[in-house]
Amino acid sequence: MNKIKLAILFGGKSDEYSVSLHSAAAIINNVPEELYDVTLIGITADGKWLHYEGSTDKINDDTWHQDELSPVLLSMDFKGLIKLNEKDSTFEKIEIDCIFPVLHGRNGEDGTIQGMCQMSGIPFVGCDMTSSAVCMDKEYTHIICEMAGIKTAPFMSAVNSKTLNIKDLYEKAFEKLSLPMFIKPANNGSSLGISKVRNYDEFEKGIMEAFEYDKKIVIESMIEGFEIGCAVVGNEELLIGEVDEIDTKNDFFDYVEKYSQHNSKIYCPARISDDLKAQAKEIAANTYKALGCSGLARVDMFVTPENKIYLNEINTIPGLTDLSRYPSMLKKIGIEYKDLIVKLVELAIE
């Protein structure tokens, strides 16, 4: 049987560059070698595409790009990559059957890479360009899911401009959303740039911090309760993973806690009733379908003290390290990491 030629993209011009390195290293270490002929493409923090043939240790410690590596580019002429040999000014064609973009955040999860892959005609793992873009944008996610009858937190959005008056914005937000509230960059992941605000001073500080990550922000009412998540795999037919639960002592599950868990703990399965789990899985599936997802996504939700479930957000390329929530939720229903990789590539080619 001929091996599938699989290109794994990692790194990326994103605030979540380092997260991508650890996710990619885990995938590379778990790829069944008997099924795939793997080509590794590292994207540096400043956006250079490089052909990498070294160890995952160097990916994990971010020294992979210190070797002398050849630039590559995605071909729009044939299904593959063009490797540039700078020493003798020659080039080499690398045929590719499928691309696995292990990229998080901006320029990797927001439809940009997905659009390039669609133009190249090469199948790729995950959601298409449109779905990736709307899932990444928290305002569009709110609008589409509310139209689909999925409960989300009351919200409003604002765009950074010379005419923006923060005091006027605070008054509008206070009237519509009350305190406390959350301020989030509209397009970012890993909880970067998010803040919980309880007064005007915190609001002003939160607005400025969020605008460092995106020109558009979303302001949401706080949903009292705790966070749960659900893994989804599939195109038309969906596999729904176990529901997990985040128990944190912090104001929210922020960037530091997501990757250290000093004051937080993940419970999988979640400590909720079977009925609530069934509801969460149904909401996860409905969210996935409403946003046009394919391949994979993790749907995050809140459970209130009254046992009502609200959508928080959806991640179209969730963390994929051996210890990440997404593979852990699927392992609980019998899908091991290696089997997950095979399934995702099959869905991409499908």
| CA dist., res. 41 & res. 20, Å (int) | 12
pLDDT attached to residue 170? 97
Kindly list the structural domains of the chain, giving each domain's residue range(s) and its CATH number in brackets, ordered by start: 4-124 (3.40.50.20), 135-151+225-349 (3.30.470.20), 155-221 (3.30.1490.20)
Mean pLDDT by 10 residues, the chain (350 residues): 94 93 97 97 97 97 95 96 90 97 94 96 98 97 98 97 95 97 87 91 96 95 96 98 90 52 84 98 98 98 97 96 93 97 97
pLDDT value of position 250: 66
pLDDT at 325: 95
- State residue 192's pLDDT score: 83
């939700």: which residue's tokens?
301
| Edge-to-edge strand ranges of the sheet holding 238-248 | 264-267, 238-248, 226-234, 295-303, 309-315
* φ/ψ (deg, to 5) at 165: -105, 110
Can you tell me the distance from the alpha carbon of 347 to that of 239, in angstroms, rounded to the nearest whole number?
12
**Cα–Cα dist 65/58, whole Å:** 8
Which pLDDT score is estimated for 249?
75
Model pTM? 0.93
pLDDT at 209: 95
